[in-house]
Amino acid sequence: MRVRLWAVVAALAALMIGLAVAPARGAATLTQVTGFGSNPGALRMFSYVPTGLPAGRPVVVALHGCTQNAAGYYAGSGWGKYADLYQAALVVPEQTSANNALSCFNWFTAGDIARGQGEALSIRQMVAYAVATYGSDPARVYVTGLSAGGAMTAVMLATYPDVFAAGAVVAGLPYNCGTICQYQAQPKTPAQWGDLVRAAYPGYSGPRPRVAIWHGTADSTVVPANATELRDQWTNVHGLGQTPTATTTLPGGTVQESYGQAVQLNRVPGLGHGTPVNPGGAEDQCGATGAYFLASICSSYHIARFWGLTGNGGPTPPPTTPPTTTPPTTPPAGPCVTASNYAHTVAGRAHQSGGYTYANGSNQAMGLWNTAITRGLRSTGANYYVLCQA
């Protein structure tokens, strides 16, 4: 009995010693990062890395709007929730009043919107730091932002198409339009809008990022014409027309227009200037209402779905209110179309996830998402394609 008693005492003592010397594992928090690069744009970097995040996970860059900061955008937008849920590192750049009196990212300043310069380069350096430090997947880097942050999102997609797989512009502006776009529509053709993007990285011939656009129909700060102009800009860059291939009604009446798999336009009825949020505990609910965080639909959730993040963090249940979809009219069968994997995704016959290409409908693997690999696809139903021989 005495031997057993001493054994119990010894075990308890060992446990207490272990607890005393083992470092406490704190919960992940939004943390400022210094020394991430030369930082020519003089921005601040904040990051949120879920506890135990494994290597090879995506990176999401979230850019706040004017008069906001990193902590406020992190708290209000819902991206912290989805970083945990879908296992992604979150980078939240912050503007300072020393750079801009209203703490807006300088989307209209030539020295800040060019590749290799100013604020654009600072954000690029933050991404490079995240990939190197957190072991993130360089093929799954995404960027989104509100208002001035949305305009800077367009800057990053235009100047660094080799870095970002996709992005989402919320109540933002087309690339390189300046402040004039904020207040009135511009008489540019889709080709002219697209030329602005192509001029941001002359000679680039690789895949372009996929783009989601979100805008309230009652926005009086950044006029809704910007949503259409962004649509024209990025459909032209992707070689697409300006007629949707599918139209979907999301919960709350948001109308989602799809242009192949590359561009998506979401018009939120009656919404003013801000990030659409929908506080709550369901997977498709997020954020906190406040200044420039407007109760409607959780745009961050639908952006994550568009990017393909929802399939990376576990099973994804459908939204609490299923959307109604009007699929594109597709012939029941068609000829074998041979094209590069990139061209198939742009045309809406395939989609990419994690740098790999999959046929729409059948989800047959087609190999790496690039212009070098060529495959044949045949339509056998509405948005349903199978591999074939030319």
Token couple for 66: 């004017």
d(CA 197, CA 243): 20
**147 has catalytic annotation:** yes
H/E run at residue 293:
strand 293-295
Q: Tokens for 58?
A: 């995506």
Tokens of 317: 């249940």
295/222 Cα distance (integer angstroms): 18
In the block, tokens 């990051």 appear at 47
Question: DSSP letters along 73-105, please?
Answer: HHHHHSHHHHHHHTT-EEEEEE--TTT-TT---
Q: Are strands 210-216 and 246-249 parallel, antiparallel or unpaired?
A: unpaired
Which amino acid type is present at position 256? Q
Catalytic residue from among 47, 147, 299, 300: 147
Three-class secondary structure of residue 345 per DSSP: helix
Where in the sequence numbering do the catalytic residues fall? 147
